[in-house]
A and B are shown apart, each in its own frame.
Chain A
């Protein structure tokens, strides 16, 4: 199973195994990763599962869809590396993915 590392705002890294086909948000919630709220439950209807994708992974993860960009307007400290983790599907290529959770969710 692919491994995903979540680094919180304080610098603490947590690496967990993710199921293929689930999302980076669902993986975080399942493992109790702090810093991801997912208020809307993964409907791309809020911006509380916002993460910054590590520079080395941005190309593999890809860009947000227009709908996701719209929701990112509501995010906190949105940067070019920002994504909503509910919109990142876990694939074999993402094994080793590193994301950072922001100081707070919106």
Chain B
């Protein structure tokens, strides 16, 4: 196991609220690491609506999800936060007053004085296709991600989906698998046209099969798939013998382990916080943005920004106990301007 990373604050979630929290903490001299399960920064703004317009960010009449995240990244650049992507926090253990030991699904440990949960609707996880009994095969012959291509060498592989993941893995695995079938609901693909063309070429050369339909059932034993039963769009069924199934049906938000971290929850899905500091029932663990709840809560990005600013004021006293905090404005304070690299 690697050495624990010791820093002031760990922010869980790299969406707009997590990013702006870096800014507010940075102004008060607190160093942050940010962890996110996605492979990119931006949270829902990056995953769900990168190109969709947002009209209610104060001072920005119009901005896209990606545009907002890019601007926030530029804004927090002076504070040099470290990002840990494709990683999920599993446990948070209180080991001091306050000091937390945080462990991720990759076995990385953090020791931090403050935890800020800015996890939005939870963590994005691969969507499980509606195939009865698919759980029994997960991990043994159904995979939602490819960690090691060699494990699929000379295997009969079925890939389901029509987006970039499905097409990329079809192209990558075609030379490795003994037989590869791509199954998609319709003849149009969301994936990049270049990938679709390459895939159609492989189909034309007889190197892979492409089938229009949806998998309706799986058969096999002891976690090992033997065949997939596919329903064609005309209602007829047929079977494909296979050793592995890779479904790529996008991501969905799941709360994940948050509810196990000992904080008071609302309806089992939101972290209850006070409105003075947006701190949870566990001192030192804060929650900002869509994941928290308090009377009057609105799930707006702008609310999350406000919550981050107040959070930082209280977090300061955990990171610098006994030190006086003088409130300052970025417009006039030379010390803040130095931190921002503009003075």
A residues sitting closer than 8 Å to B (CB atoms) are 39-40, 43, 45-47, 66, 69-70, 72-74, 76-78, 104, 106
Contact = CB atoms under 8 A, between A and B. Distances in A.
6 contacts: A39-B252, A39-B253, A45-B49, A47-B250, A104-B130, A106-B130
B48 A73 contact: no
B52 interface: yes
A73 B44 CA distance: 19
Contact of A106 (B127, B190, B214): B127
Interface in B47-106: 48-49, 52
B248 to A, nearest CB: 10
B256 interface: no
A69, A73, A76 interface centre (most CB from chain B within 10 Å): A73
Contacts of B188: 66, 69-70
A72 B214 CA distance: 13
A73 B52 contact: no
B306 interface: no
Size bin of chain B's contact surface = 20 to 34
Contacts of B190: 70, 73
A78 B127 contact: no
Interface in B14-50: 44, 48-49
Contacts of A70: 188, 190
Given A39-B253, A43-B49, A43-B52, A73 B161 contact: yes
A90 B250 CA distance: 29
Contact of B250 (A66, A69, A74): A74
Interface of A is mostly: loop
B223 interface: no
Interface of B: 44, 48-49, 52, 121, 127, 130, 161-163, 184-186, 188, 190, 214, 249-250, 252-253
Contacts of A45: 48-49, 52
Nearest to A74: B250
Nearest to B184: A73
B130 A73 contact: no
A70 B185 CA distance: 10
Contacts of A47: 250
B322 to A, nearest CB: 44
Contacts of A40: 44, 48-49
A40 B124 CA distance: 13
B63 to A, nearest CB: 14
A73 B249 contact: yes
A40 B161 CA distance: 21
A104 B49 CA distance: 23
A39 B121 CA distance: 9
- Residue from A43, A69, A74, A76 whose CB has the most chain B CB atoms within 10 Å: A74
A45 B46 CA distance: 11
A42 to B, nearest CB: 10
A77 B161 CA distance: 14
Contacts of B214: 78
Contacts of B252: 39, 46, 106
B287 to A, nearest CB: 20
B186 A77 contact: no
B332 to A, nearest CB: 38
A106 B249 CA distance: 9
Contacts of B250: 47, 73-74, 106
A104 B130 CA distance: 9
Nearest to B252: A106
Nearest to B299: A41
Contacts of A76: 130
A104 B252 CA distance: 13
B174 to A, nearest CB: 21
A77 B163 contact: no
Contacts of A104: 130
A69 B48 CA distance: 16
